[in-house]
Amino acid sequence: MHEITFLFVLRRLILIMLVVLPQRFWFRRGWRLATRIRRPRWQSAVRVLLTLALIAIVAVLADRIFFRFIPQSISARIAPPIQLWIFTSIFAFFCIKTVHAIEWAWGRVKNLRCRTLPEGIVHNPSRRSFFRYATALVGTMPFLVAMYGFTRERLNFQIVRADVPIAGLPPALDGLRIVQLSDIHAGDFMPSDEIRRAVEMANALSPHLAVVTGDFISGHGDPLAGCISELSHLKAPLGTWGCNGNHEIYAEAEDAAEALFRRHGMKLLRHSNAQLTWKGANFNLIGVDYQRDIHLSGSRMPHLDGVEALIRRDMPNLLLSHNPNSFYRAADLGIELTLSGHTHGGQITVEIVNQNISPARFMTKFIAGLYALPNRFHSDSELARDEKSAFLYVNRGLGTLGVPVRVGAPPEITLLTLRSA
């Protein structure tokens, strides 16, 4: 218990330091620049603006971390630019400090070399100019990238189509269309009109089944009711179904989400299943609450406890599970298709030497798109044990978390079509 408390406090202290140190750095720079202004009135005005900005930053952080006290109408206006500044300035701060560290190390090496040079050698002063320009460049780039990701890619909803070959799929289910939304994160950065636009785009695909795989909101005070109200306009003959994500846990909104789904004629599956019929053929839809990662033999893998009792061996099984890491266990259980979200596709993804560098790699191998694993159980043939016949699709989600930016991982509306393998 004491170890858990210590780790909790340590994480909070690290988080506070990550926020405070960059803001102190930028605020001091701004204050120094203000002193260079010759006109006293302008100098005073700049200092007042800096002070007000600092107060706003503290207020928004307290509102987000501790409890919501800023009215939604005000928060929707001031929180987006401030959160954008906070996270971007942190990244820019560490980029600048990295250049400073390289400059310091380079200087130490040069000083050691200079001791062996003959007297009278004039050293090239271009080194200081190089590092000064490098500092300006790396300090500016995060702000430029953030502005692009905030204004261009953040709400650039894309429709992604994928065919999923299912072994033993009944002929009547061949061509069944499933539209998937995930990770809405309704709030300041995902207003109701944008959710409505995504729903309209999904409806234009004429799906037979609509699913939403969790994270309707980010935390306490976010508009859960408004989000689910907009999602209720999804149109599909087989209805709209969903599961909870980890942020429903953080917001203590799992029961509320289930009740709101029910009120709007939808169904949120919480360790439960439903048999659906299309053109006379049946399939089994399973949904679970967020599956926490646990350490098992050195790997992280949710157990999906109790799901065995929900699986049908006489029809295909489709699992809604927010955490894509549950795919390992789902494949072992013989579930043909798992639909997940959670990763946001990394949210900020950079391609370097034909390799995608994504923050999501720290949490899972399944970042975005379609994946396959061997299905450990198949009713038709034992030979199926060697086939990659269990599939996972990871949706990049609509919303953002933390940094209100998307770069290289645009928000996604998925249309999955079942095909006979």
What pLDDT, on the 0 to 100 scale, is given for residue 108?
Answer: 77
Contacts (Cβ under 8 Å, ≥6 apart) of 104: none
Please state whether beta strands 317-320 and 281-287 pair in parallel, antiparallel, or not at all (unpaired).
parallel
What pLDDT, on the 0 to 100 scale, is given for residue 352?
Answer: 56
- CB-based burial, 236-253: b 16+ in 10 Å, e otherwise: bebbbbbbbbbbbeebeb
Distance CA 166, CA 157 (A): 28
What pLDDT, on the 0 to 100 scale, is given for residue 335?
Answer: 95
Please name which of 273, 236, 244 lies closest in space to residue 260, comparing C-alpha atoms: 244
pLDDT, one tens digit for every residue, the chain (421 residues) = 444 466 656 766 777 778 888 898 999 999 998 888 888 899 999 999 999 998 988 888 887 766 777 777 777 778 888 888 888 888 889 889 888 888 888 877 777 666 655 554 445 567 678 888 888 888 888 888 888 888 888 999 999 999 999 988 999 999 999 999 999 999 888 999 999 999 999 999 999 999 999 999 998 889 999 999 999 999 999 999 999 999 999 999 999 999 999 999 999 999 999 999 999 999 999 999 999 876 544 455 678 989 999 999 999 999 999 999 999 999 999 999 999 999 999 998 876 555 567 777 778 899 999 999 987 655 444 434 445 689 999 999 999 988 889 998 999 999 999 999 7
What pLDDT, on the 0 to 100 scale, is given for residue 264?
Answer: 97
Q: What is the C-alpha end-to-end distance of the chain, expressed in Å?
A: 51
Asked if 360 and 366 count as a contact pair (C-beta separation under 8 A), the reply is no
CATH fold of 157-420? Purple Acid Phosphatase; chain A, domain 2 (3.60.21)
pTM beyond 0.75: the answer is yes
What pLDDT, on the 0 to 100 scale, is given for residue 215?
Answer: 96
Instruction: Enumerate the H helices of 149-268 as residue ranges.
Output: 192-203, 224-231, 246-250, 254-263
Ordered by start, the domain boundaries in the chain are 1-153, 157-420
Burial of 149 (0-12, 13-18, 19+ CB in 10 A): buried
What pLDDT, on the 0 to 100 scale, is given for residue 178?
Answer: 98
What pLDDT, on the 0 to 100 scale, is given for residue 87?
Answer: 84
